[in-house]
Structure formats: C-alpha cells, structure tokens
Amino acid sequence: MKKVLAASAILVFFLSSCLKNDKTCNYEDSKVVAPEAEIAKLTDSLAAHGITDATFHPSGFYYTINNPGTGNAITNLCSEITVQYSGKLFNGNVFDATQQGASAYFQLGGVITGWQKGIALVKAGGSITLYIPPSLAYGSQEIRDQNTGAIIIPANSNLIFEVGVEAIR
C-alpha cells in the first residue's frame, strides 16, 4: 500500500509540474532602428500619398493614433493582444487582414518589430495606423501566398497596417 501511495504521489508531482502555467517571458526588446535610406523612402511614400499627419517614431516607422483607447496597456513583449487588422502595400494591395467580424490573437513578442513598437502606443479599445519600413517588418525577404506561391509582399516593401486593439492581457 505504501508503494502505491508513493507511486501516486510521484505521479501527481510529475503531472502537476507538466501542467504549470509557465509565464516566463523570453522575448527581448528589439534595438533595431531603420536605416536612414529606408526612412527617407518611407517619408517620400507618405508625402506622395498625401499623408501629412503621421508621427515619426525613433525606431524609424511612422504612425497615426486614431483612438488612444482606455483599457489595459502593453506591459511587455509577453502581453497577449487581440486585434482586428488589415495590412496593405502603398499601391493599395491588401496582403493580409482579419475576416469581417473576426479577431486575431498574438503574443506581442511574436510579431514584427514595427507592431511591437507601434501597438504599445495605444491601449485596449484603441486603434492605430502604422507605416512600417522593411527593416522593422520582413526586410529583404519576399512573402509568398502559402497556397499559390505568388508573392504577396515584395522584398524591401514599406507596409501600412490598420490595427484595432480589442484586448490586451
């Protein structure tokens, strides 16, 4: 009987250690700053499209806060965010978006640097437009459609994201 109890205690210990909700955050804040040439190209694209109200961020992207929000704020890169968003190129081609009425869920440290820095500027309930240069997004890597193989984000593209932050945990 003692062996059964000892075995049960050991089993419970091992199972409970496997079920722990480990909240260790292994993401480190990116120190990447867009090169001057990328910033100049992005600035020119904004001007060419008549976008004059965007604010420059020291890491090299531009943003417009449409609504600052009043809910929870980002605390670190392990913050979990629920958003509605669309991403497009400056030529207007939408390359990604949440479905109408649907949301997407991310851990902030798992998204591109431009989002990490930009979304932290608003609280839950807020919305922001991000104008992101390549080095804070996908850089020289072209992004292809997983089904067709077609290029949906050309290498070295400036990107525009409209992001509505529904929740931050």
* 10 in any annotated domain: no
- CB contact at 8 A, 32 and 135: yes
* 136 in any annotated domain: yes
What pLDDT does 11 receive? 34
Its domain, for residue 63, covers: 31-168
Average pLDDT over residues 116-145: 97
Question: pLDDT tens-digit profile of 53-103?
Answer: 999 999 999 999 999 999 999 999 999 999 999 999 999 999 999 999 999
CATH number at residue 140: 3.10.50.40
| Proportion of the chain above pLDDT 90, given as a percent | 82
Those residues whose C-beta lies under 8 Å from the C-beta of residue 79, and which sit 6 or more positions away, are 107, 108, 168, 169
Q: Distance between alpha carbon 160 and the CA centroid of its chain, in Å? A: 12
* 58 in any annotated domain: yes
What pLDDT does 23 receive? 58
* 138 in any annotated domain: yes
DSSP 8-state assignment for residue 117: H
Please count the structural domains in the chain. 1
CA distance linking residue 88 with residue 161, whole number of Å: 6
* 26 in any annotated domain: no
